[in-house]
Structure 1
Amino acid sequence: MPHASLADTQLDRLQEILARHDGLEGPLLPILHAIQTEFGYIPAACIPVIADHLNIGRAEVHGVVSFYHDFRDAPAGRHVVKICRAEACQAVGAKALAEIALAKLGLEWHGTTPNGAVTIKPVYCLGLCACGPAAMVDDKVVGRVDAAKLNRILTEAGA
């Protein structure tokens, strides 16, 4: 059945993903991960197709997408900046650092700057507890982040 808001090529790729997961026990999460890998996010137009294919409600699919913070319903920025929110980093200033970042970007958590350069996300432990506050820029972990280092990170990322 055609879906107006998905381009034919997107619908073809979605159908391929669904076919690859046929017969899998509990396929919803693997399907969602595969879609996000393919498209960079979970397009809203995919939700009814997934629901129909798995014979589950659209609300169930939407609930899973919205429950897990790593699933995105819109494309992420060119750079994803994650700030650790775990206790060890909080104890050395991560809360204030997060407030600075959100204020500088004019965003809430999971938001993306209007120019599409930066998406800001909270993360709960990057494994740099002794070097907090910690952040991750794309796939690079950065320790001992202070306001000046944060400003450099955001500026270099294009914010």
Structure 2
Amino acid sequence: MNVHVPGSDVGARTLAIVSELKGLEGPLLPILHEIQAEFGFVPQESLPVIARALNLSRAEVHGVVTFYHDYRDHPTGRHVLKLCRAEACQSMGGDELAERVKALLGIDFHQTTLDGAVTLEPIYCLGLCSCAPAAMLDGEVHGRVDADLAKELVAEARR
């Protein structure tokens, strides 16, 4: 993942991505995914470029970005730790796990540690309901997360 560099030409990079993908059936979501992969988030400067190229209003593009939890409007830490907040995980100790991880990191959901190492995000179902509670660190899922595994995941993310 690249990280947005202030002063870089976001518009030109966005236009290149849009030009490459706008021929797809329903191109908005793939474009947004690719932009987030490129910048680490979806910069506000990208929205009018996307809207113009796809003949959408800026509000329509903004609505899609804000509707889906996976799209970010700011950069993340070097690692992203997601904790499942769905019912199965909550019933198996997910709330306690979340409080423990927040305490270990010293942050709340949607925040990044001061050293820029870890961003903590909620996610609503990782599909590991039978292995609850579940977490995902940098795209790798972990089931049956207990206090010890939570501590290991936090330590790994802080390295």
Q: TM-score, normalized by length of structure 2?
A: 0.82
Structure 2 CA distance for partners of 1:129 and 1:26, relative to 1, 3 Å: closer
User: Where does residue 146 of structure 2 map in the other structure?
Assistant: 146
What residue identity is the alignment partner of 1:119? T
User: Where does residue 131 of structure 2 map in the other structure?
Assistant: 131
Gaps of 5+ in 1: none
Distance 1:33 1:6 in 2: 22
Deviation per CA, 1:137-158: give whole Å up to 9, x if none: 1132222222233123213311
Asked if residue 7 in structure 1 is aligned to residue 8 in structure 2, the reply is: yes
User: Where does residue 79 of structure 2 map in the other structure?
Assistant: 79
SS in 2 for 1:90: helix
User: Where does residue 46 of structure 2 map in the other structure?
Assistant: 46
Offset at 1:41? 1.3
Structure 2 CA distance for partners of 1:6 and 1:45, relative to 1, 3 Å: farther
Contact 2:42–2:71 under 8 Å retained in 1 = yes
Asked if residue 19 in structure 1 is aligned to residue 19 in structure 2, the reply is: yes
Structure 2 CA distance for partners of 1:58 and 1:106, relative to 1, 3 Å: farther
Q: TM-score, normalized by length of structure 1?
A: 0.82
Offset at 1:47? 1.2
What residue identity is the alignment partner of 2:43? P
* Residues 80-119 of structure 1 aligned to structure 2 (within 5 Å): 80-119=80-119
Distance 2:38 2:142 in 1: 28
Offset at 1:131? 2.7
- Number of residue pairs matched? 154
